[in-house]
Structure 1
Amino acid sequence: MTDTRQLGAARRYPFSEPDRLNLDPLYAELRREEPVTRVRLPYGEEAWLATRYQDVKVVLGDPRFSRALSVGRDEPRTSPQQIGGGILSMDPPDHSRLRRLVAKAFTARRVEQLRPATTAIADELVDAMAAAGPPADLVEAFSTPLPVRVICMLLGVPPTDQHLFRTWSEAIISTTSLSQETIVGYLGSLHAYMAGLIAQRRETPTDDLIGAMVQARDEDNDRLTEQEMVELAAGLLAAGHETTVTQISNFMYVLLTHPEQLAVLRARPELVPDAVEELMRYVPLGAASAFARYATEDLELSGVRIRAGEPVIAALSSANRDAAVFEEPDRLDLTRGAGPHIGFGHGVHHCLGAQLARMELQVALGTLLRRLPGLALAVDDKELPWKSGLLVRGLRSLPVTW
Structure 2
Amino acid sequence: MASRPIVPPQARGDAVVEGGKQQKKNPAAEGRNRRALGDIGNLVNVKGVEVKPNRPITRSFCAQLLANAQAAAAADNNKKQACAKVDAPLPVVDGVVAAKRVAPKPAQKKVTVKPKPEEVIDISSEEEVEKEKSPNKKKEGDANSKKKSRTLTSVLTARSKAACGLTKKPKEQIVDIDAADTENELAAVEYIDEIYKFYKLVEHENRPHDYMDSQPELNERMRAILVDWLIDVHRKFELSLETLYLTTNIIDRFLATKTVPRRELQLVGISAMLMASKYEEIWPPEVNDFVCLSDRAYTHEQILVMEKTILNKLEWTLTVPTTYVFLVRFIKASIPDEKFENMVYFLSELGAMHYATIMYCPSMVAASAVLAARCTLNKNPTWSDTLKLHTGYSEAQLMDCARLLVSFHSTAENGKLKVVYRKYSDPTRGAVALLPPARNLMLEDSAAN
TM-score normalised by L of structure 2: 0.27
From the CA coordinates, give the structure whose radius of gyration is larger. Answer: 2
TM-score normalised by L of structure 1: 0.29
Structure having greater relative contact order (Cα 8 Å, sep ≥ 6):
1
Structure with the bigger percentage of strand: 1
